[in-house]
Structure 1
Amino acid sequence: MNIPYLRAETDEQSIRIYRGNHPDPILVQNAQTNQRPFIHPILAPDGKGVLTENAPPHHSWQHGICIGLNDVNGIGFWEEGIKHHPKDGSFHPQPLKPTVINLHHASWEIETYWRDPQGNHMITELQQWSLHDLGSTYELDFQWSLRAEIKLTFGRYDYGGLFLRMPYRHELGGEALNSEGQMNGEAEGKRARWVSCRMPIEGRSDNAGFVFMDHPKNTEHPVPWRVDGQLGISPSRCIAGQWELDQGETQMSKYRILVFCDNMDPSSVNENWRNFASKIAMNKE
């Protein structure tokens, strides 16, 4: 397959990544002022169908690939104030820097201030993304850093962290499968190295989906996972219990997201995970 080189259009609030001169981006990073950053849409690697969903009616605070937590010093960074909860915090992305393009690779980062309801700066979040276009699949490697601007306690919760929302429709179904062979609701709250999610997509005659992978150097690896009733998936350290960060301390986690068409054989996923797991070093501040 002859894969066109990537190109990017970047402004202070969005990044659009394209294959060659194709008019539709394969991925859009959104970082609107005073809103949670998120990735949507992601186009299937063969160009047929959008694999993410933004603000579905059942969970309007969920956006494609996004991040949030439910209990940080009692403050919620999940529902975005949509339910008018008085203890919901807010997200404040800083202006985006230019995307770095190298043939079939693209990399970018987003720094976001997380503030409490009174506007106090609690967390500085850094998302560092790297996209490798392999033609039939994409690999998205992601490093997530949280720096505590005050002493923080992260409460135990049933979900939170890096999250995927696909365009699930009950009548069409779908499948989540983890590295331990557990499917759909069986995988809820269970520890696993990876979880895949695939489902029918508008404009396709077959399925397409994602595999989220947890790096072995992450705390709580293999991490417990959220697998919700609409097949939203999330590696959720918070399921395992409470943790703390002292003021000035930084926590880093590393993930890979594999984007695929049709189906991914578990043996192929395991091989890809082993390749990812061998990348031991994480960036240091």
Structure 2
Amino acid sequence: MHKIVLFILITAVWSCNTKNSIRFAVKKGDGVFLAQPVHFDLKNAEANQIDFKEAMILFQETGKEDIEVSFQLDESNGGIWFVPVIDKGEDETLNFRLENGVSTSKSGTGVSNQKQNGNLQLRLQDKPVVSYRYEMTYPPVGADSIFRKSGYIHPIITPKGDTLTRIQPDDHYHHYGFWGPWTHTQVDGERVDFWNLGEGMGTVLFKEFKKEESGNVFTSFTAVQEHIDLKTKEDPQVALNENLKVRLWNLNRPDRYMFDYKSEFSSPLENGILFEAYRYGGGLGLRFNERWKADNCSVLTSEGNDRLTADGTNAKWCIVSGEASDGKGTNGILFMSHPKNRNHPEPMRIWPIDANGGRGDMFFEFCPIRHEEWKIEPNKNYELNYRMVVFDGTLNAEEAEAYWQSFASENQIELINK
């Protein structure tokens, strides 16, 4: 398995015409090169003859006709993000030129967000693909209202339109698509469960949005979520404050997109909170659609484990895939854990093949406390980072490793003065 390294070689040039420009190259590496986000740090180019306060255009130089490439400013770290056009040639690098000028491209950005009926929809080519539920969802008629919830992701929809997530299944009313409450915790020596809503101990709810942005390459939001201790009914207390950051990337291909899920959290409690070691809790969990059973879905992890052997093992990445809704082909999700996450490669909870009365329903979770407890100190910041690729068709192990390598390693920047 070859490791993919994106290595940015930057060359500053003073153009012969009136335009100022910076040229740089993205090294392909010696493995699979996939369309995925690349970051170029403008701070490293401050000495060059280009005005970053003016309009800029990015071109990919092909040796024939240059291709204009969409990019997006990232104000948080002073750079731009873009997705290269795949070049299957034998050259070791892809060459780019960033210059002052006004774009003449009339193509749409491809990504946007929209609030609709209590959901914040992240949209690709004007179709919702990842939706965050910020208003309250109530359980089905006849079920206890204690199972009501906000602050979760559903539906996740493939580019061709298959819904992969499920909420409120009758076997687990507390399952809400894609979400990450903590299960066995201790607050001042008392057990509190934020996952199993039916026990009435705790819940996780949306509070407010801090930030939303959309551009040519990604659309994103930051939602504030409160993990609420309900053990004292008269005076519930917030045990964790969480900033959930979700970013959808346009990969410029019809069968795949990518999104990031970053949880930043801290405890305002005087004594903090203890996450006990347990097979469920935190990280991220996903209850898959009801179509997938024991005989039509599969698992493959970075360590080579499958549906029969993966539960309880650790992995850098995991592919979960199953039969498409029309019975023709497959689709699924590649889950990736960042190396800075606690207990990386990260433990997983994957339902056994005979789960739920032998049906073999599919549930996946990266669970950083599966084998070891985690003490959250008061007013100290913690974070967990994940990346997902949602796909129609297939995604193989070599591609999964290439995606993970890009996620795991920051771009190496070298300024070359000539």
Question: Do these two structures clear the TM 0.5 threshold for a shared fold by scoring above it?
Answer: yes
SS in 2 for 1:159: coil
The one of 119, 127, 146 aligned to 1:14: 119
Q: Which amino acid aligns with 1:155?
A: E
Q: Which amino acid aligns with 2:219?
A: A
SS in 1 for 2:333: strand
Larger radius of gyration: 2
More deviation, 115-124/165-174: 165-174
- Shift in Å, 1:266: 0.2
- 1:253 equivalent to 2:384? Answer yes
Cα distance change on mapping 1:97 and 1:126 into 2, 3 Å: closer
The one of 22, 27, 30 aligned to 2:133: 30
Contact map agreement 2:133 2:153 (CA 8 A) in 1: yes
Contact map agreement 2:210 2:224 (CA 8 A) in 1: no
1:119-134 matched pairs, under 5 angstroms:
119-134=236-251
Q: Which amino acid aligns with 1:224?
A: P
CA distance in 2, matches of 1:171, 1:255: 26
- Shift in Å, 1:75: 0.6
SS in 2 for 1:25: strand
CA distance in 1, matches of 2:263, 2:239: 16
Q: Which amino acid aligns with 1:221?
A: H
CA distance in 2, matches of 1:49, 1:158: 29
* Cross-structure match for 1:283: none
Q: Which amino acid aligns with 1:35?
A: K
CA distance in 2, matches of 1:3, 1:222: 38
* Cross-structure match for 1:167: 289
CA distance in 2, matches of 1:171, 1:231: 8
* Cross-structure match for 2:350: 227
Cα distance change on mapping 1:171 and 1:186 into 2, 3 Å: closer
The one of 152, 161, 164 aligned to 2:273: 152
Percent sequence identity over matched residues?
A: 22
* Cross-structure match for 1:40: 154
CA distance in 1, matches of 2:108, 2:333: 20
Q: Deviations over 1:122-163 (max 9, x none)?
A: 110111111102132111112111211111111010112201
CA distance in 2, matches of 1:171, 1:188: 15
CA distance in 2, matches of 1:200, 1:231: 12
More deviation, 1-10/49-58: 1-10
- Shift in Å, 1:172: 4.7
Q: Deviations over 1:196-231 (max 9, x none)?
A: 111113235111110111111111111111111322
SS in 2 for 1:202: coil
* Cross-structure match for 1:189: 312
* Cross-structure match for 1:50: 163
Cα distance change on mapping 1:12 and 1:143 into 2, 3 Å: farther
CA distance in 2, matches of 1:4, 1:201: 28
* Cross-structure match for 1:241: 372
How many positions carry a matched residue from both structures? 273
CA distance in 2, matches of 1:202, 1:132: 24
CA distance in 1, matches of 2:171, 2:324: 18
Contact map agreement 1:149 1:247 (CA 8 A) in 2: yes
* Cross-structure match for 2:73: none
SS in 2 for 1:125: strand
The one of 409, 414, 418 aligned to 1:278: 409
- Shift in Å, 1:96: 2.6
* Cross-structure match for 2:101: none
CA distance in 1, matches of 2:118, 2:266: 22
TM-score by length of 2: 0.61
Contact map agreement 1:49 1:203 (CA 8 A) in 2: no
CA distance in 2, matches of 1:219, 1:4: 35
CA distance in 2, matches of 1:130, 1:279: 17
TM-score by length of 1: 0.88
Contact map agreement 2:219 2:248 (CA 8 A) in 1: yes
SS in 2 for 1:177: strand
* Cross-structure match for 1:109: 222
The one of 161, 175, 179 aligned to 1:66: 179
CA distance in 2, matches of 1:103, 1:147: 32
SS in 1 for 2:308: helix
Structure 2: runs of 5 or more not aligned: 1-84, 86-106, 137-147, 353-360, 412-418
Task: Report the aligned-residue RMSD.
Answer: 2.2
CA distance in 2, matches of 1:186, 1:59: 24
Contact map agreement 1:174 1:199 (CA 8 A) in 2: yes
CA distance in 2, matches of 1:116, 1:57: 25
Cα distance change on mapping 1:63 and 1:279 into 2, 3 Å: farther
SS in 1 for 2:346: coil
More deviation, 104-113/164-173: 164-173
CA distance in 1, matches of 2:108, 2:179: 28
Q: Deviations over 1:106-134 (max 9, x none)?
A: 11011111111121111101111111021
- 1:177 equivalent to 2:304? Answer no
CA distance in 1, matches of 2:202, 2:256: 36
